[in-house]
């Protein structure tokens, strides 16, 4: 099942932006600094190749596994972007000119996170659109995630009040919160996994069950 043309065009534009920006940063971090930052160059090269894969996908390649292809592109961008950021976090960024202050790479890292999440969103869309049952599981997973976030967030916000309570009361509250958190994680994980399982070929509507 082909993705809609607007989606394919968007993937192509994002992939082109990724490849060009990675190539530009790769060149910049080896030419302008007093000492070439080869670690960043290596990670930018990886992201540039991920952008090329995305462009090939937008041109009609790798359509047998749409979700997996986009998942690999998005995961590569997130992982390589994170490691690239870590390599410059200690020095405070990259010094592009002699006697100049280091340029923070945080905005660059945030843009990489945004690009990676976009590709992951398209990967999820490519799988979840195949079967209407996936949507129901996604809704259930989101509800469980919201409950989990409220419990964890509530305990974090009220941590000072909890610490002032008697030990027994605090222990009971923490035990209940931990139980709800475990149930929430399990429920959300199960629903999200089932949502993607419904996108498997044998789960699609109108597909004959093997042996039937």
Tens of pLDDT, residues 15-46: 999 999 999 999 988 888 888 888 889 999 99
What pLDDT, on the 0 to 100 scale, is given for residue 161? Answer: 83
Report DSSP letters for 151-185, one per residue.
HHHHHHHTHHHHHTS-HHHHHHHHHHHHHHHHHHH
CB 198, CB 131: distance < 8 Å: yes
Q: pLDDT higher for 199 or 123?
A: 123
- pLDDT band for position 135 (50/70/90)? confident
Tens of pLDDT, residues 158-209: 878 878 888 788 888 888 888 888 898 899 888 888 887 776 666 666 555 5
Count CB atoms within 10 A of the CB of residue 139: 12
Q: Which of 37, 17, 51 minimizes the C-alpha distance to 92?
A: 37
**pLDDT of 123 above 90:** no
Average pLDDT of the chain?
84
- pLDDT band for position 211 (50/70/90)? very low
Residue 126, exposed/middle/buried by CB under 10 A (0-12, 13-18, 19+)? buried
- Report the phi/psi class of residue 93: left, alpha or beta, with left for phi > 0 and alpha for psi in -120 to 50: left
Beta bridge partners of 94: 103
């Amino acid at each position: 099942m082909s993705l809609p043309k607007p989606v394919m065009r968007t993937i192509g534009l994002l992939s082109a932006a990724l490849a060009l920006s990675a190539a530009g940063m790769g060149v910049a971090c080896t030419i302008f600094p007093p000492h070439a930052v080869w670690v960043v160059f290596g990670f930018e090269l990886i992201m540039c190749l991920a952008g090329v894969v995305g462009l090939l996908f937008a041109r009609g390649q790798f359509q047998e596994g749409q979700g997996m292809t986009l998942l690999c592109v998005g995961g590569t961008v997130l992982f390589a972007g994170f490691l690239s950021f870590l390599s410059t976090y200690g020095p405070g960024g990259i010094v592009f000119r002699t006697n100049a202050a280091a340029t923070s790479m945080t905005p660059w890292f945030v843009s990489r996170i945004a690009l990676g999440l976009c590709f992951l969103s398209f990967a999820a869309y490519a799988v979840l659109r195949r079967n209407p049952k996936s949507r129901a599981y996604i809704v259930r997973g989101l509800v469980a995630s919201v409950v989990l976030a409220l419990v964890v967030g509530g305990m974090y916000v009220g941590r000072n009040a909890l610490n002032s309570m008697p030990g027994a009361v605090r222990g009971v509250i923490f035990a209940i919160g931990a139980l709800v958190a475990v149930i929430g994680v399990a429920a959300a994980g199960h629903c999200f996994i089932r949502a993607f399982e419904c996108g498997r070929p044998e789960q699609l509507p109108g597909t004959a069950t093997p042996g039937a």
